[in-house]
Structure 1
């Protein structure tokens, strides 16, 4: 990139560049450059696009505690399937009720607590509101016991139009990071800024994914870039969390040199690699929109990991009721937690949404 912001209009020549992540740091990206975008454009466009992509994947990033360079993923709220109650989800998957007390009758309260000291604190709070707390509080089980597992509602999406612009920005900026000529992809800048709509980004599920299904030690983001002078095509394949995959058409009349480049990062460990995958993605032949059902099959692996993380915070507690093959009083260890999580996930399933 030669002293020109990629997103600035041609008549501008802003030299005050800003450090920009190729893949947003909010979803675990580390690769960055300070020679692509100026501070003004980053404030006007970059931050809004990053907010959109971070929101799309907030359940994954917070529950799995996806590594960032600074700060932890934010706390988020999910609702339960049973009562639509709010639960706060902390980085790593720990859950806590957002509202611990609920009035259910004349001077009767439903109180949720995890320790006797917390119960006394909640009773004191109710008393401060000039309510008399009777000795008939209805509680959600005995501290140290799990009476019921709540089904927290979450879903995945291929993204909306703003998310697609963020995906296009990742592909374009990676091309520039690799030394590509900005004039060969300059029309993409208008799409990234939201000036016009175009068929540039498509959900795409290849016959063979670059990465294996995600697990708690290996969750990767990958960008694979290909420019071919003979076919006149410059395109990128982006795979996020080993799961959400997209084809991005950067130029359908490419006249630059042949280029092939690959970058991946394990967002659980921070390890980065430029090693080429054993199977290179190919631009699909059938209509790209037909790949969403295939992608949804891949989503189930990731949904299962999220569900497992949310469940694992019950380790060390005793079952307050019989559940599947386990009797009341069974202490939940890691093996039992994984088994119960899998059975609950199989019965409850998860919802998917494509836009």
Structure 2
């Protein structure tokens, strides 16, 4: 049996684990055995992979990534208008916190509640009664009229990426792929020194040129690649997340095995594996330059982002349209006066159309030309 690549304990059928090459938390699927013991798998997952997924969670949400297990956690963002909204993995947003305001129009007072659902709105009304004890809460509850509105501002995302924990997660991915290709982890001295003993980071940001030769359009892909050349003594890795964050990794400066080139790539939106040609034509000088941020261009990173963000916008628009139509139809049928299975009368048909129009109005107005 193999040894654990991190703690070097002998792996057995009892303590061996299935390690994702790319973490499940960001959409990875392929797993290998004989790489980490269960304890190291659990520890690095909780520490390194969790930090990686936390930093990439905004992208996981806006691209609606597909996980094997679970969903990306909802996350609250500020808008350019200063509001706080929570973005959910299944689409849609809700107020980050419940609140209410009293509005007076033409001498008539009303209460406007910002809540995620009717249940939450009702709980707010109980607090209103403490301030206005003469209010008829039961009447207010029965008069609740749920409405939806679209904010006009833009969500502000922090796409900062880096640090020792997420750095170790990406180096672990490259080491994992190398192991799956038959390269002993013990021969990847640069990666081992960094992962086991907190040595110098052996990765750097790289977008000087596109290393994916057949990059598919409009796919925010994840990929991991390794390339070993005994002539140069370099065993290099390349890791990319969402087509945006791109890093090179030096696993070894003393590689003596046969020439090797392997990659694993996935479309995290569909969960489908991709076949990519990835070349890493770098020498040691290039690698050190990447370590010193000399191979990173923020303008090119912005271009990478702009190449895939239309995918997220189109997906979001399609999901919202389908959601609005579905909820409008359900609401209209529920409140038009017809029972399930009944033939609809002319009056019920008119009521049904009216209710659907009312429910669709905010969405349609949002798309109205100025």
- Category of TM-score, reference length = shorter chain: 0.7 to 0.9
Kindly indicate whether residue 187 of structure 2 is the aligned counterpart of residue 189 of structure 1.
no
Q: Scaled by the length of structure 2, what TM-score is found?
A: 0.72
Q: Partners of 1:314 and 1:182 in 2: how far apart?
A: 47
Equivalent residue in structure 1 for 2:172, among 169, 174, 190: 169
Q: Which runs of 5+ in 1 are unaligned?
A: 318-328, 341-355
Q: Which residue of 1 aligns with 2:258?
A: 257
Equivalent residue in structure 1 for 2:305, among 299, 306, 312: 299
Which has more helix, going by share of residues? 2
Larger radius of gyration between Structure 1 and Structure 2: 2
Shift of the 114–67 alpha-carbon distance from structure 1 to 2, 3 Å rule, reads closer
Q: Partners of 1:202 and 1:243 in 2: how far apart?
A: 14
Which has more strand, going by share of residues? 1
Q: Which runs of 5+ in 2 are unaligned?
A: 104-108, 326-360
Q: Partners of 2:76 and 2:150 in 1: how far apart?
A: 22
Equivalent residue in structure 1 for 2:203, among 193, 201, 204: 201
Shift of the 147–175 alpha-carbon distance from structure 1 to 2, 3 Å rule, reads closer
Shift of the 118–150 alpha-carbon distance from structure 1 to 2, 3 Å rule, reads farther
Kindly indicate whether residue 111 of structure 2 is the aligned counterpart of residue 112 of structure 1.
no
Q: Which residue of 2 aligns with 1:98?
A: 96
Q: Partners of 1:125 and 1:212 in 2: how far apart?
A: 56
Kindly indicate whether residue 82 of structure 2 is the aligned counterpart of residue 80 of structure 1.
no
* Alpha-carbon shift at residue 120 of structure 1 (Å): 6.6
Q: Partners of 2:254 and 2:150 in 1: how far apart?
A: 62
Q: Partners of 2:116 and 2:46 in 1: how far apart?
A: 39
What count of residue pairs does the alignment treat as equivalent? 312
Q: Which residue of 1 aligns with 2:10?
A: 13
Q: Partners of 1:122 and 1:143 in 2: how far apart?
A: 14
Shift of the 313–191 alpha-carbon distance from structure 1 to 2, 3 Å rule, reads same
**For 2:222, what is the secondary structure of its paired residue?**
strand
CA contact (8 A) 2:190 2:250 kept: no
Q: Scaled by the length of structure 1, what TM-score is found?
A: 0.74
Trace 1:49-64 onto structure 2 (pairs within 5 A).
49-64=48-63
* Alpha-carbon shift at residue 207 of structure 1 (Å): 1.9
* Alpha-carbon shift at residue 237 of structure 1 (Å): 1.2
Which structure exhibits the higher relative contact order, with contacts defined as CA atoms closer than 8 Å and separated by 6 or more residues? 1
User: Which string of whole-angstrom CA distances, capped at 9 and with x for unpartnered residues, describes residues 123-178 of structure 1?
Assistant: 633345454569xx9xxxx9666464232221212322211111100001110011
CA contact (8 A) 1:166 1:192 kept: no
